[in-house]
Amino acid sequence: MFSISLNQCGKSFNRHWLFQDLSGEFKTGEKWAILGPNGSGKSTLTLLLCGQILPTKGNIIHTHQQLQIPLNQLHRYVALASPALELNEDLNTKEIFDLHAKLKPMQVENAVDVFTSLAGYGKAVLSKPIATFSSGMKQRVKLSLALMSDTPLLLLDEPFTNLDKAGEGFVRELMESFGNDRLIFIASNREEEYEGCSHRLTLSSGS
């Protein structure tokens, strides 16, 4: 069992509070939508939940099998996909999947083949540099790496960004195959992105 405990957490930048006094318990098997208007701190909260930034006040505790996870080890338990994250565009598709698998365990051994099959791409895409991909193809790669990672915590920030209807269907297939038995957060303003979430965490600008 993986869990996160937020205790009166707040985050500010340049004396402006994005959010304050957030408290809650979140655990394996739950799917949470992080909602709120632009500027309310949805993306910032995803970074806080995965340990990439620290709260300005309050504290956050991550536990696995009832043991607290040290911050310097948290990356092993987390998978994040965000439009703000950049891929190494000097690598080709196979290389980027192979590198990711060395840094983080995957749920399947042949993740890159699963990716090409679900996305409907031919084998030629394996040798194509990421730099030659469209924004939609890059987003599919980011989401595949995160969803296929064998981590108890999954965070998706605006997952349908740059995707057409076929791409949205691709994400739903990935979620069905690789989104089970995890704690999931989806930050979004679009209902179709978080339609599978049974819980809501709503931020208001300056809260």
- Residue 137 has what pLDDT? 94
List the Cα angle 64/66/72 in 5-degree steps.
45
Backbone angles phi, psi at 46, to 5 degrees: -60, -40
- Max CA distance (Å), the chain: 51
Asked whether the predicted pLDDT for residue 206 surpasses 60, the reply is no
Mean pLDDT of the chain: 94
The model's pTM is 0.94
Closest listed residue to residue 69, CA positions, set 42, 47, 44, 50: 50
What is residue 14's predicted lDDT score, i.e. its pLDDT?
87
- 49-98: pLDDT as tens digits: 999 999 999 999 999 999 999 999 999 999 999 988 999 999 999 999 99
> What is the C-alpha to C-alpha distance for residues 118 and 202, in angstroms, rounded to an integer?
32
The CA-based angle 201-45-150, given to 5 degrees, is 90
Indicate the domain borders of the chain. Answer: 2-202
Name the CATH superfamily for 2-202.
P-loop containing nucleotide triphosphate hydrolases (3.40.50.300)
Is the model's pLDDT at 2 over the cut of 80?
A: yes
Express each pLDDT in 98-139 by its tens digit. 999 999 999 999 999 999 998 889 889 999 999 999 999 999
